[in-house]
Chains A and B, each alone.
Chain A
């Protein structure tokens, strides 16, 4: 059976170019970039070359790029740092949204326990917020605004440049978790008024376990891991050179092909949306237009997401869901709840996230198979029976 992988928001397959870029550092160039000798200095040159190439893709200076173990670490470092430095000036208020990634939300929850006050801006039903809403929430004591670039579950793309402009005008540090955006949609830290940005390589066909934090010159950044002087004293530990080299190659490739990939993915995405919304009592989550070219997120009433995923997996389709059962908790996805979906609807969500490696044939296969599985599950669902008998009203 053929595998149809449509869970690229979770992780992507490495590109051939990224693997090629990585290989010399696994076999041959093994030096420690901190070593004084030639073997070390060769490694150092490669490290700085990768940094410069990544900086170019983000439109910043190489010295503004700090390598991390991934998006979560970058989020933790950026938020903690901005919070602590704000507190030094008596600013202990942070603004974010209700549907951030847990790397951001859990860091903020911890800061709340440490005495910070966090405003979680409510998200509209379409999965968006406005720059005006951010502006209205900024106070004298606001230390940081952290708003994701694009949502990992419903794929909505937020007005980052506008939010950045509002923050800059009011002199507040602006961080964005751009893990789902970098390599997929245009990101320009200068043009979009971004002070800090987190990215993760494995979301754009790089390797797992490596990412970066962009921190604008002049914005104070605290050391996150104590130890050696790597990453300009901000993050100790011998650099993951193989991962960094692969990240630079993957990002260059993603940025070079962005327009072409985006056009291809938008067509595939739209075909999926059109085909799957033919299922009665289904609903697309997130704005139809302001969304990642790769993201489809649909709720089917009367069924539960985990059983849907397992049956799709049996047909070779790898997808994900915001149902409680897939999260290991009793509540469905906080993102879907933030969009105002009732629990019983959120349990029946399906996220399909594409990459340029997917084909039109795969999309047709999904459009053909998903409705069958939904129908099967509805036929054995007592919830669906009540809805169909009119004992309860359909919610979607």
Chain B
């Protein structure tokens, strides 16, 4: 289908890391059903390494593909590296997204950050609050497009 790259279609029709993690160390949920996109990310963390990650997504093809790709990109990585993941990197890894679908990659970035923040909160780990803006605030969406 011309709307999406082959990679998007691959990650949409065969999504990686779909599901839930029981007793996850961090859970992040962003988006809302009214707008048509909700992403929920579950993290299993050991010694600051993301040893497992799963997602559930309500949304369009690119939202599901972005979730799948983003989880692939952070699996097995240290938290510090996961925090550097940008929406642009997710979109690039998918060989690009249509301009009006870039917000799906933003949701993926935000969902991961929200899950990590949840992990920090649950474990009493200190962090700079400025680095974790509230993703439910629509104005905070920062879309990097080129």
Q: Does A380 touch B at the CB level, under 8 Å?
A: yes
State the CA gap A61–B36 with chains docked (Å): 49
Q: Interface on B for A, CB 8 Å cutoff?
A: 1, 4, 9, 12-13, 15, 18-19, 29, 33-40, 55-61, 63-64, 100-101
Q: A302-B58, A307-B12, A380-B64 are in contact. List 5 more A-B contacts (CB 8 A).
A: A307-B59, A310-B13, A343-B36, A381-B56, A382-B57
CB distance from B136 to the nearest CB of A (A): 14
Number of residue pairs A-B, CB distance < 8 angstroms: 72
A-B contacts, 28 of them at CB < 8 A, read A302-B58, A303-B58, A304-B58, A304-B59, A307-B59, A307-B61, A307-B63, A310-B1, A310-B4, A310-B61, A311-B13, A323-B36, A325-B59, A325-B60, A325-B101, A328-B100, A342-B34, A343-B33, A344-B36, A380-B18, A380-B55, A380-B56, A381-B38, A382-B38, A382-B40, A382-B56, A382-B58, A383-B58
CB within 8 Å of B: which A325-355 residues: 325, 328, 330, 332, 342-344, 347
Q: Residues of B contacting A325 with CB < 8 Å?
A: 36, 59-61, 101
Residues B38 and A383 in contact, CB atoms below 8 Å apart: yes
Residues A304 and B60 in contact, CB atoms below 8 Å apart: yes
Q: Residues of A contacting B15 with CB < 8 Å?
A: 380
State the CA gap A344–B39 with chains docked (Å): 15
Main secondary structure, interface of A, reads helix
Q: Residues of B contacting A313 with CB < 8 Å?
A: 1
Residues B58 and A330 in contact, CB atoms below 8 Å apart: no
10 smallest beta-carbon distances between A and B, as pairs = A325-B60, A306-B60, A344-B33, A382-B40, A381-B58, A383-B58, A343-B34, A382-B56, A347-B36, A310-B61
CB distance from A285 to the nearest CB of B (A): 17
The winner among B4, B34, B37, B59 for most chain A CB atoms within 10 A is B59
The winner among A324, A342, A380 for most chain B CB atoms within 10 A is A380
